[in-house]
Amino acid sequence: MLRDFFLGSIKIHILYHASIEPIYGAFLMEELASHGYDISPGTLYPTLKQLHKDELLEKYEEKVEGKIRKYYVITDKGRQVLAEGREQVRELAEEILGKDWRNIDNE
């Protein structure tokens, strides 16, 4: 059941990284794992494909070490969704953790 909740967080995380630099699947697998997300390629790649289909990401391909790698970058529409997602995450954190949630570990 938590998987459905985490998938939304993962999408926001993907858009965030795509707003900084071009991203690709293997990079995202490592990045998400570093935050505790146990996401399989069978979940990640369809998610990237859907974000591309929804015009939140643009895709291009490059040959890297003899193999074709698909890179993704955020679109203007993706930036708008990311901004809205950030605000929702901020509001949710404040509601669940309190207004001073950033200082919660300092208490």
Note the pLDDT tens digit of each residue in 21-54: 999 999 999 999 998 888 899 999 999 999 999 9
Give the CATH number of domain 2-101: 1.10.10.10
Q: 48 Cβ partners below 8 Å, 6+ apart? A: 14, 25, 28, 57, 70, 72
Residue 66 pLDDT grade (very low, low, confident, very high; cuts 50, 70, 90): very high
Note the pLDDT tens digit of each residue in 7-17: 788 999 999 99
Helix, strand, or coil here: 18?
helix
This prediction's pTM:
0.84
